[in-house]
């Protein structure tokens, strides 16, 4: 009798051990906020990133997408997500309460550029030629998709609202390319990394635009978390998974989809250029 | 050939074929019109769904003047439709400026929309009926019960136009074939149905001039109406034949009748000399030894017999069957006088006889003699005792003119109708005058009647006609 009970208890314990990690995972899935700093419309890319982070953390990953940078930043600040892939501009806006988890490295460096694009047949060769046109920005909290052009104008004493006849926010770098390619807007400010990836994945769309100017190299959109949560297990798990992506098959597959080399630890100094532009804009 | 001049047996099939062509055309028109209505309804429903769907999706964005979102919605709608049907959709704000279009190059942001709106129909009026492969429709953009802008869309209807064109081609080909077969079939069937009519017409115009009956094996079977018609026709043609035969016999008999009417006079004419002749033979027998008496009596007998011979010859001539075809001669008028004079004498009538012609036009003798004799007998009957009858014959190369006058009271109305018209004869009464009418008509001549004071004149003019 006691043996039977013991056996049952043992079987129950074994089942409990087998089930516990899965239940625990479901209860404590990690939430990562995503902004359109990359091709966030590609379901395969999203799935591979989730698989890579799930593999790296050993937990379920909930990737949270929102239309605007502000919404994702808001989620991060209020604790709705454990970490977020933000643009350098909102990171710097909240630098005092945010910390870097890692900075992706693209083509050998954690840097990227902002591109100014027009239709291929447009005679404009620089920002100054685009006066009076319709211009598409990506997001008011985007460095490459707004700040770079706005600060460039600010440096010459102009404001986007008056320099251009009309401006619009397309909320997504791919949308900016679409706006320019379709003729909806004459010009657009777009993430150089996204444009280059598009040129390979959707060459027809990218070829319907041309890059007329490129900004200086600026800090690549980083993964960030609330500073106060640095060291907590979800954040640490996420950071470890991000930095260790090159070490796992799913991680490498995700990086390949994103056309990134790796996620590096990074440091705030990478974002000096953006900080300078913020200061120029603030005047 | 004009339709009204076509024979009935051709006209009816042609008309029936024409009617079938007309029915085919009307039916084709109806089908096309129905197809057009279905297509228009489909197009309007499609356009309405398209615009309603976009209105719902775009409402908040138009309200916010969100150029990108409006474009994004239009662009995704265009992609979803795979570039089919929707060529262009333009959304404008309340002031008529373009907010965004599915093809911004055709309708740039902030441009004036009025150029595009020109020629655009409404949801209730658009139609794919024309040859234009595109229709343009404009509608207000209503959001939350308020008009927030307007939406204009160009729809590709080339498939509908092509469908209608295919339907038209199929209808034309199919109907042409069907109508041709039906028209041909109708023509053949009508020809068959009307064949008895053609036969009837042919039999009526037979070479003999008389309607000929249709043989029993050619009477249509199964169609009681046409069969009855043919049978009736056969009965009528039989009746016509019988009537012609009766008339022929009547005319034949009339010769005897007229002679019959003369018989007593002729008998007297023969009888009268007989007394004298018998006296002469008695005289010869009594005075056989007196050559002078015998000679004078023999001369008397000779004259009497010659007279009798003339009378007999005239009577025989009048009645000879083989006289048909003989040409009229002046002797025929002598014969007529020989035949008629005793009758005039018997009736106590004065007879004036004047044959002025020295040569006669070519004419058949028998009808002329019959005409003259009948009219003379009629005149003798009309002229009362103590009256007179006058006969005159005059001729040129072209025609013969006979004039018969009498002192009678004139021809009664019924007799005049018999003589001068072809009206049906009332029962009773002689056929002599009608025979005159028929003979003159057959000879292509003319009868004139005139009535003067105490005299009636009937003139017959016969054109020259060689005896056949």
CATH code of A56's domain: 3.40.190.10
pLDDT at A19: 41
Please give the pLDDT value at position B207. 62
pLDDT at B401: 92
Based on the domain organization, do A57 and A150 belong to the same domain? no
**Residues A137 and A49 reside in one and the same domain:** no
* DSSP strand pairing (A134-137 vs A187-191): parallel
Provide the pLDDT for residue A47. Answer: 93
For residue A196, the enclosing domain spans: 114-215
Exposed/middle/buried for B216, CB within 10 Å: 0-12, 13-18, 19+? exposed
Q: Does a structural domain hold residue A281?
A: no
Which 3 state secondary structure label does DSSP give B196?
Answer: helix
Judge whether residue A171 has pLDDT over 50: yes
Q: Is A208 on the interface with B (CB under 8 A)?
A: no
Taking only the tens place, the pLDDT of each residue in B43-57 is 888 888 888 888 888
Do residues A189 and A234 share a domain?
Answer: no
> Does residue A93 share a domain with residue A10?
yes
Buried-state track A175-197, b at ≥16 Cβ within 10 A, e below 16: bbbbbbbbbbbbbbbbbbbbbbb
Same domain, A52 and A94: yes
**Of the candidate ranges A133-147, B143-157, B202-216, B272-286, the one whose mean pLDDT is the lowest:** B202-216
Q: How far is B43 from chain A (nearest CA, A)?
A: 28
Contact A179 B71 (CB under 8 A): yes
Q: Specify the pTM.
A: 0.62
Domains of chain B, by residue range, sit at 3-180, 207-319, 325-468
- When pLDDT is averaged across residues A29-42 and rounded to a whole number, the result is 84
Residue A182 with chain B: CB contacts under 8 Å: 71, 75, 103-105
Same domain, A143 and A210: yes
> Does A282 reside within a domain?
no
Residues of chain B above pLDDT 70, percent: 92
Could you please report the per-residue DSSP string of B211-243?
A: --PPPGGGSPSS-HHHHHHHHHHHHHHHHHHHH
User: Sorting pLDDT into bands at 50, 70 and 90, what band is A22?
Assistant: very low
The count of structural domains within chain A is: 2
Same-domain check for residues A171 and A253: no
Instruction: Say which residues have a Cβ less than 8 Å from residue A115's Cβ, sequence separation at least 6.
Output: A144, A189, A190, A191, A192, A195, A211, A213, A214, A215
Q: Which of A153-167, A250-264, B213-227 has the lowest mean pLDDT?
A: B213-227
Locate the chain B residue with the closest alpha carbon to A136.
B68
8 Å CB contact of B68 and A166:
no
Residues in chain B with CB shorter than 8 Å from the CB of A183 are 103-105, 108
The verdict on A84 touching B (C-beta cutoff 8 Å) is no
Highest mean pLDDT of the ranges A11-25, B375-389, B421-435: B375-389
Same domain, yes or no: A225 and A98:
yes
Torsion of CA B38, B41, B47, B52, to 10 degrees: -140
Instruction: Give the confidence band of A18 by pLDDT, cuts at 50, 70, 90.
Output: very low
pLDDT value at A103 more than 90: yes
Q: Verify that A91 and A161 share a domain, yes or no.
A: no
What distance in Å separates the CA atoms of residue A78 and residue A68, rounded to the nearest whole number?
16
Which residues have CB under 8 Å from B404's CB, separation 6+?
B372, B375, B376, B378, B379, B389, B390, B391, B457, B458
Q: Kindly state whether B310 is in contact with chain A, defined as any CB-CB distance less than 8 angstroms.
A: no
What pLDDT score does B411 carry? 83
Q: Considering the domain B3-180 in this protein, what is its CATH number?
A: 3.30.450.20
Beta bridge partners of B455: B452
| pLDDT exceeds 60 at position A13 | no
Residue A93 pLDDT: 95
Q: Kindly determine whether residue A182 and residue B105, on different chains, have CB atoms separated by under 8 Å.
A: yes
Pair A68, A202 in one domain:
no
**pLDDT tens column, B84-97:** 788 889 999 888 89
What's the rounded Cα separation, in Å, for the pair A84 and A53?
A: 13
Q: Which residues pair with A62 in a beta bridge?
A: A31
Q: Which of A215, A236, A255 is the last residue of a domain?
A: A215
> Which letter does DSSP use for residue B288 in this model?
T
Is the predicted pLDDT of residue B186 greater than 90, yes or no?
no
Per-residue model confidence (pLDDT) at position A14: 44
Class of domain B325-468: alpha beta
Query: Which of B71, B72, B109 lies nearest to residue A166, judging by beta carbons?
Result: B109
């Amino acid at each position: 009798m006691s043996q039977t009970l013991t056996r049952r208890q043992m079987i129950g314990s074994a089942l409990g051990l087998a089930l516990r990690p899965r239940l625990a995972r479901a209860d404590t899935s990690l939430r990562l906020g995503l902004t359109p700093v990359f091709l966030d419309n590609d379901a395969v890319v999203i799935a591979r990133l989730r698989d890579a982070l799930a593999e790296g953390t050993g937990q379920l990953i909930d990737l949270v997408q929102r239309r605007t940078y502000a919404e994702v930043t808001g989620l991060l600040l209020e604790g709705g997500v454990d970490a977020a892939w933000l643009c350098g501009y909102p990171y710097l806006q909240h630098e005092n309460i945010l910390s870097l988890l890692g900075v992706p490295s693209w083509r050998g460096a954690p840097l990227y550029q902002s591109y100014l694009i027009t239709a291929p047949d447009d005679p404009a060769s620089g920002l100054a030629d685009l006066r009076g046109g319709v211009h598409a920005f990506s997001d008011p909290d985007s460095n490459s998709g707004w700040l770079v052009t706005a600060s460039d104008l600010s440096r010459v004493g102009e404001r986007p609202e008056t320099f251009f006849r009309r401006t619009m926010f397309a909320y997504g770098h791919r949308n900016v390319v679409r706006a320019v390619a379709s003729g909806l807007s004459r010009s657009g400010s777009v993430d150089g990394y996204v444009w280059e990836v598009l040129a390979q994945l959707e060459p027809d769309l990218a070829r319907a635009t041309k890059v007329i100017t490129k900004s200086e190299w600026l800090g690549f959109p980083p993964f960030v978390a609330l500073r106060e949560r640095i060291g907590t297990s979800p954040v640490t798990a996420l950071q470890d998974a991000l930095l260790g992506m090159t070490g796992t098959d799913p991680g490498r597959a995700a990086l390949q989809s994103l056309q990134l080399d790796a996620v590096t630890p990074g440091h705030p100094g990478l974002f000096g250029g953006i900080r300078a532009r913020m200061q120029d804009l603030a005047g | 050939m004009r339709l009204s001049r076509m024979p009935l047996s051709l006209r009816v099939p042609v008309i029936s074929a024409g009617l079938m062509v007309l029915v085919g055309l009307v039916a084709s028109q109806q089908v096309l019109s129905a197809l057009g209505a279905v297509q228009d309804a489909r197009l309007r429903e499609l356009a309405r769904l398209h615009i309603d769907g976009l209105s719902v999706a775009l409402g908040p964005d138009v309200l916010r003047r969100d150029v990108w979102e409006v474009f994004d919605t239009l662009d995704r709608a265009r992609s979803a439709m795979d570039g089919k049907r929707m060529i262009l959709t333009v959304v404008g704000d309340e002031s008529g400026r373009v907010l965004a279009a599915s093809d911004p190059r055709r309708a740039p942001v902030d441009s004036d929309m009025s150029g595009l709106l020109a020629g655009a129909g409404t949801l209730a009026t658009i139609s794919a009926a024309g040859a234009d492969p595109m229709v343009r429709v404009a509608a207000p953009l209503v959001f939350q019960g308020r008009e927030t802008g307007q939406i204009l869309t160009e729809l590709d209807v080339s498939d509908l136009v092509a469908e209608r064109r295919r339907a038209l081609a199929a209808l034309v080909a199919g109907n042409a074939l069907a109508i041709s077969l039906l028209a041909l079939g109708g023509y053949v069937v009508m020809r068959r149905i009307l064949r008895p009519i053609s036969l009837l017409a042919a039999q009526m115009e037979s070479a003999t001039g008389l309607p000929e009956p249709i043989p029993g094996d050619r009477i249509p079977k199964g169609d009681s109406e046409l069969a009855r018609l043919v049978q009736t026709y056969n009965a009528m043609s039989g009746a016509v034949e019988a009537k012609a035969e009766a008339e022929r016999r009547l005319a034949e008999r009339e010769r005897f009748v007229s002679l019959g009417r003369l018989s007593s006079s002729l008998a007297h004419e023969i009888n009268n000399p007989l007394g004298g002749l018998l006296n002469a033979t008695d005289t010869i027998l009594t005075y056989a030894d007196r050559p002078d008496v015998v000679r004078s009596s023999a001369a008397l007998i000779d004259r009497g017999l010659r007279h009798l011979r003339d009378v007999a010859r005239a009577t025989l001539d009048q009645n000879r069957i083989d006289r048909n075809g003989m040409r009229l001669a002046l002797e025929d008028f002598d014969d007529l006088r020989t035949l008629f004079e005793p009758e005039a004498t018997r009736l106590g009538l004065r007879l004036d006889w004047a044959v002025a012609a020295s040569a006669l036009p070519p004419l058949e003798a028998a009808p002329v003699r019959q005409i003259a004799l009948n009219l003379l007998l009629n005149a003798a009957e009309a002229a009362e005792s103590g009256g007179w009858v006058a006969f005159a014959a005059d001729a040129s190369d072209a025609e013969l003119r006979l004039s018969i006058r009498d002192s009678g009271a004139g021809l009664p109305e019924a007799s005049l109708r018999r003589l001068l018209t072809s009206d049906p004869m009332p029962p009773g009464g002689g056929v002599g005058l009608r025979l005159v009418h028929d003979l003159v008509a057959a000879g292509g001549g003319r009868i004139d009647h005139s009535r003067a004071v105490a005299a009636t004149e009937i003139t017959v003019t016969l054109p020259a006609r060689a005896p056949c």
